[in-house]
Amino acid sequence: MWIVFSLLAALSAAVVVTLTKIGVKNVAPPLAFAVQAVLILLVSWGVVAWQGKLGELAAIPRRDLLFLAAAGVITCLSSLFSFQALKLGTASRAGTLDKVSLVFVVILAVLFLKEKVNWQLVVGAVLMAGGAALIALSQKSAG
């Protein structure tokens, strides 16, 4: 089932990049992100409330809360960088290069989460990095 959710996340991310590229055309990237962030806040807390999970907030261990807070700050930075890249570049190139994060996930998971590496993981990561670089460095299409 995780594969279905991962693919839905990938499809959603692709739609977000496309819509954001359109949205930042005449809007400063930080302002555009702030608009999206408010909606993210409302929708995410709405889902938590709808699922009846609001009471669980107080039970989150302090260490976990610190990691989640740090990830939240870094998520904001990532989005701000992404919005600026979309403002300056094409969606197909900026969005693809942004997905080199997948290679960084593999590296960080091995280093910090002690996940096991095998030849398929290494080849897949190299192919992803190579493909992203090829797309990002390609000549801009005419039109």
Q: What is residue 111's predicted lDDT score, i.e. its pLDDT?
A: 95
pTM (predicted TM-score): 0.85
Q: What residues in the chain have per-residue pLDDT under 70? A: 140-143
Count of beta carbons in the 10 Å neighbourhood of residue 18:
14
Tell me how far the alpha carbon of residue 115 is from its chain's centroid: 21
CA distance 27 to 37: 15
CB neighbour list of residue 125: distance below 8 Å, 6 or more residues apart: 102, 103, 106, 107
Q: What is residue 142's predicted lDDT score, i.e. its pLDDT?
A: 47
Residue with tokens 């709405």: 46
Q: What is residue 138's predicted lDDT score, i.e. its pLDDT?
A: 84
In the chain, domain spans? 1-89, 90-142
CA distance 118 to 66: 32
The DSSP secondary structure of 25-82, one letter per residue, reads TTS-HHHHHHHHHHHHHHHHHHHHHHTT-GGGGGGS-HHHHHHHHHHHHHHHHHHHHH
Count of beta carbons in the 10 Å neighbourhood of residue 90:
16
Whole-angstrom CA distances from 74 to 77, 79, 81, 113 are: 5, 9, 10, 18
Q: What is residue 137's predicted lDDT score, i.e. its pLDDT?
A: 84
